[in-house]
Amino acid sequence: MTEHKTKKTIFNGMSYRDTQRVNSKNRTKLKQEDIHLLKTEGYKNVGWNNVISLYHKIKDFLDKYQFDDLTLEELFLEADRIGNKYLTAQETQESNQRLAKEVNEIAEEIDKQFPDTEIEFIDFSNKTKKTYRKQNNQKSYRTVKY
């Protein structure tokens, strides 16, 4: 008798059975309407081609969920990061210089509008007015405003 050694197919470092398990686990993370959509579109967790296509579709849904929880600021930062991928190093440097210049101008304008007239001194001596129970390795200090 001769033994047939079949080459084990691997997808993303996972065997067929492992990919099925990952699909089942990730499918529970989806919203109910997306699970229903997968079912109506005929995605199945049986057969290599079906398992791989289901894996990609579930990954797309999970990636979309990642952006649902972001704040508006985080979305702008993500869009900026994606946009920077298509810029050359020189264009990125020029953009950063323009941004730094604008930020400095805004900071100067804020300082003009809201000048800080109070001077604050920090006294690091061990003598404080109030006595607190001092824990090990805890330093105390007081601030004095003039």
pLDDT, tens digit, for every residue of 91-106?
Answer: 889 988 999 999 999 9
Residue 2 has pLDDT above 60, yes or no: no
Task: Give the confidence band of 17 by pLDDT, cuts at 50, 70, 90.
Answer: very high
Model confidence pLDDT, tens digit, residues 58-81: 999 998 888 777 788 888 888 888
Helical spans, DSSP H, in the chain: 16-27, 32-40, 48-68, 72-84, 89-113
Question: In angstroms, rounded to a whole number, what is the distance separating the alpha carbons of residues 19 and 5?
Answer: 22
pLDDT of residue 38: 93
**The one-letter amino acid at 67:** F
Q: What is the pTM of this model?
A: 0.49
Task: Give the confidence band of 137 by pLDDT, cuts at 50, 70, 90.
Answer: low
For 97-107, letters b (16+ CB in 10 Å) and e give eeeeeeeeeee
Task: Give the confidence band of 132 by pLDDT, cuts at 50, 70, 90.
Answer: low
Which secondary structure element, helix H or strand E, spans residue 121, and what is its range? strand 120-123
